[in-house]
Amino acid sequence: MPPTLTEWFAMPRLLATLLLLPSLLLGGCASTGGPDGATSEADPLEPWNRAVYRFNRTADEWVLAPAARGYVAVTPEPVDTGVTNVFQNLEDVGNLVNNTLQGKMDRAVSDLGRVSFNTTLGLLGIFDVASPLGFERHDEDFGQTLGWWGVPSGPYFVLPLLGPSTIRDTAGRGGDYFVSPYDYLELTTGGAYALYTLRAVDFRASLLGTDRLLNEASFDPYAFQRDAWLQRRRNQVHDGDPPMMEEEEMDMLEGMEGVGE
């Protein structure tokens, strides 16, 4: 009998535990480019990162992006929306856990409302009935939780196939495994592969509109993606209100001095 998804995740759970260990060491390591790694100086692994970035782009151009375009071409929009809603409903469980761990109880209550209403009235999440009722969605993950509690980001780190990350967020993926509801669906191995493939294609389809921006916005797409991702990640950790960076403070002081002269 093929292993269930719970059995399939036995090894990743062990790996998840090991991945959490670096987060305990990050606080004692000197981080480059500030606590949230918001500058290009936070990229001491650039040779590795660029190599993996090129690999990821090749895999995307030849496999994932064509699959996403084909998916969009043959999938009616209501069906596509329903698929996205189902995955977001599953991920709202992780949002609930991480908002609770961060002490954001108002958001946690909203996440609980979303999961409850969308799972029941929304037919297992196919329909998003919670948003019209005022239950907002708050994207959170364990990497953000670590950042919220002051764990430095560590260097920028590009993961094969998974894309941009940092050492902290890579460790955070271990925590995400523990709260993932996918583990409790008890699918066969084939079903698990199909589920994750559909999730990847559905997510990639939502990003098709950004391809041209990435290709045309910069002479160096790698640096553009890195800096944009780090800035976005910093905003996520601080709920859209990140503390001012040291460089920004210096620029502001210099500007004030210039006005006073």
pLDDT, mean over the chain: 82
Higher pLDDT, 9 or 79: 79
**Residues 245-255: what's their mean pLDDT?**
52
pLDDT at 240: 86
Within a domain: residue 228?
Answer: yes
Total of domains in the chain: 1
Instruction: Report yes or no on 241 lying in a domain.
Output: no
Half-sphere exposure of 93 (CA within 13 A, CB side): 17
pLDDT average, residue stretch 198-211 = 91
Per-residue pLDDT at 101 exceeds 70: yes
Nearest to residue 222, comparing CAs of 51, 39, 60? 51
For CA atoms 225, 231, 234, 240, the dihedral sign is negative
Which of these, 157, 177, 178, lies nearest to 167 by C-alpha position? Answer: 157
Residue 208 contacts residue 71 (beta carbons within 8 Å): no
Q: List the structure tokens of 59.
A: 């895999």
Asked whether residue 86 is assigned to any structural domain, the reply reads: yes
Host H or E run for residue 165? strand 163-166
- For residue 242, tell me if it sits in a domain: no
In a domain, 53, yes or no: yes
Q: What is the pLDDT of residues 118-150, one digit of tens each?
A: 999 999 999 999 999 999 999 999 999 999 999
Q: Which domain holds residue 147?
A: 5-235
For the chain, report the end-to-end CA distance as a whole number of angstroms. 79
Is residue 243 assigned to a domain?
Answer: no
pLDDT one-digit tens code per residue, 80-98? 999 999 999 999 999 999 9
Is 77 part of any domain? Answer: yes
251 domain-assigned: no
> Shortest CA distance to 70 belongs to which of 172, 168, 203, 205?
205
